[in-house]
Amino acid sequence: MELFAPQIKSSFYNYTLRLHRHHEDLFVKLVDAMMCGAPIARQIWTEIDSGLRAHMDTEERHILPEFARVDLEEARALLADHAKIREQLLECGVAVDLHEIEVPLSLVELVRHHAVREEKLMERWSAQLLVRDSVAPTGH
Ligand SMILES: [Fe+2]
Ligand SMILES: [Fe+2]
C-alpha cells in the first residue's frame, strides 16, 4: 500500500506532464507550418484536435472525479476550461484553413494555462494520497 501513491505520482503524473508538453510542441509545429504556408499544418492540426479531445474526455471520465475530492471548486473550474478549449478547437479548425495564426496562438495560451492549473491540483492530489496511505492501517 505504501508503494501505491509514489507509483501513481511517478507514472501517471509524468505521463500527464509529457502529454501536456507534447500538445504544446505540436502547437509550436502548427504555428511554424502556418507561417511557412506548409500544407502539413492541416495534418498537425488534426493531431492536436483529436489528441486534446481524447485527453479531455479521459480526464473527465477518470481524473476530474478524483480531483473533485481534493478541491471541488478547482475541479469545476478545470471542467469549465475544457468547455472553453472545445469551443476554441472548433474556431481553430477554421482558422487553420484560413491561415489565421492568432487563433491557434490564443488557444495554446489557454491550453498552457489550463495545464499549469491541472498540474498544481495533481500535485495536491498526489500529496493527499501519500498522506492517506501513510496513515492507513497495514494489518491483514
Ligand atoms: Fe484538462
Ligand atoms: Fe490535461
For 25, the domain range is 4-131
CA of 28 to the centre of ligand 1 (A): 19
Over residues 11-22, the mean pLDDT reads 88
CA of 88 to the centre of ligand 1 (A): 14
The residues placing their C-beta within 5 Å of ligand 1, an ion, are: 59
Tell me whether residue 125 is in a domain. Answer: yes
* Distance (Å) from CA 10 to ligand 2 centroid: 16
Tens of pLDDT, residue by residue over 103-123, are: 999 999 999 999 999 999 988
In this prediction, residue 7 carries a pLDDT of 57
What are the tens digits of pLDDT across the range 73-99? 999 999 999 999 999 999 999 999 999
Number of domains in the chain: 1
Contact (CB, 8 A) for 42 and 96: yes
Instruction: Identify whether 59 is part of a domain.
Output: yes
In a domain, 45, yes or no: yes
The answer to the question of residue 88 being in a domain is yes
Residue 125 confidence (pLDDT):
86
User: What is the Å distance from ligand 1's center to 127 Cα?
Assistant: 19
The answer to the question of residue 99 being in a domain is yes
- Could you give the CA distance from residue 17 to residue 93 in angstroms, rounded to a whole number? 25
Please tell me the distance from the alpha carbon of residue 100 to that of residue 120, in angstroms, as a whole number: 32
Average pLDDT over residues 132-139: 61
Question: Distance between CA atoms of 23 and 26, rounded to whole angstroms?
Answer: 5
Whether residue 5 is predicted with pLDDT greater than 60 in this model: the reply is no
Whether residue 103 is contained in a domain is answered as yes
The CA 77 to ligand 2 mean position distance, Å, reads 13
The grid coordinates of residue 115 equal 495545464
Is the pLDDT at 101 greater than 90? The verdict is yes
pLDDT for res 15:
86
Average pLDDT, integer, range 15-33: 95
56 in any annotated domain = yes
Instruction: Enter the pTM of the model.
Output: 0.85
Give pLDDT tens digits for 48-74: 999 999 999 999 998 999 899 999 999
Mean pLDDT of 10-17: 81
Residue 136: DSSP 8-state: S
> Would 137 be classed as within a structural domain?
no
